[in-house]
């Protein structure tokens, strides 16, 4: 296997197609199998990307992997099947970008990769919910919320100060007051409660006073 770190193109936020371009650049001598069934798996799912010589499957989890219970349950089943066949299964959430520390996490199990640790960001787009087109946690189904909580805890251990990217991006998005009530009522973002207990100021943000009493009431009564 050969890891190639000489890519020079910096892209915008990660998409499934960008993930394929990244893998082709990183692994020029490996066959990158896209959207094909895994032989002998006896399931109809087709992984986004499979690298047979690494026994690695990489899935890009877009919005339906957080908003559709059927999709989430199918994810659990196929991950179990693939891991029982000896594959490493790496799932990349849409709110995590192809930055250096993420690339390292993707391949940290491979000795050659660690030996040749000379890579850089494949995108400059920040982690989090920056794009106005991506769903917020308030749009997730219950299974999606649980997935987000688990993934958030995992990535907090891998990405330095991830909270700055995720929390700040959520704060930016919820300045639309209607969106705020949806997010707050999901009871999955406790830092909002701490922020408002600090007189409405936190993480460098200060909310307009005319909204503060109403929002604080929402948190105290709907939390």
Query: Domain limits of the chain?
Result: 16-162, 174-223
User: Considering only CA atoms, which of 96, 88, 98, 75 is closest in space to residue 19?
Assistant: 98
User: Tokens 């890519």 — which residue?
Assistant: 7
Of 3.30.210.10, 3.40.960.10, 3.10.129.10, 3.90.1640.30, the CATH number of 16-162 is 3.40.960.10
- pTM of full prediction above 0.85: no
2: pLDDT confidence band, cut at 50, 70 and 90?
A: very low
Q: Is 193 a residue whose pLDDT tops 60?
A: no
What residues are paired with 59 via a beta bridge? 91
Residues near 179 by beta carbon (within 8 Å), at least 6 away in sequence: 136, 138, 173
Does 187 have pLDDT greater than 80?
A: no
**pLDDT score at 68:** 96
215 or 161, higher pLDDT: 161
């Amino acid at each position: 296997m050969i890891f190639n770190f000489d890519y020079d193109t910096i892209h915008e936020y990660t998409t499934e197609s960008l993930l394929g371009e990244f893998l082709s650049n990183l692994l020029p001598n490996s066959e990158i199998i896209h959207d094909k069934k895994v032989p002998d798996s006896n399931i109809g799912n087709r992984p986004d990307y499979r690298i047979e010589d690494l026994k690695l499957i990489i899935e890009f989890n877009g919005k339906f992997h957080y908003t559709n219970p059927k999709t989430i349950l199918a994810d659990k089943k196929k991950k179990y099947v693939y891991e029982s066949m000896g594959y490493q299964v790496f799932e990349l959430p849409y709110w995590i970008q192809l930055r250096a520390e993420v690339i390292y996490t993707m391949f940290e199990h491979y000795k050659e990769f660690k030996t040749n640790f000379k890579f850089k960001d494949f995108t400059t787009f920040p982690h989090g919910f920056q794009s106005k087109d991506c769903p917020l946690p308030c749009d997730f189904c219950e299974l999606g919320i649980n997935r987000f909580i688990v993934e958030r805890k995992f990535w907090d251990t891998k990405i330095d100060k991830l909270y700055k990217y995720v929390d700040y991006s959520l704060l930016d998005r919820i300045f639309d007051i209607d969106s705020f009530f949806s997010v707050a009522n999901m009871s999955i973002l406790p830092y909002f409660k701490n922020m408002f207990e600090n007189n409405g100021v936190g993480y460098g943000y200060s909310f307009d006073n005319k909204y503060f009493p109403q929002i604080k009431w929402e948190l105290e009564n709907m939390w």
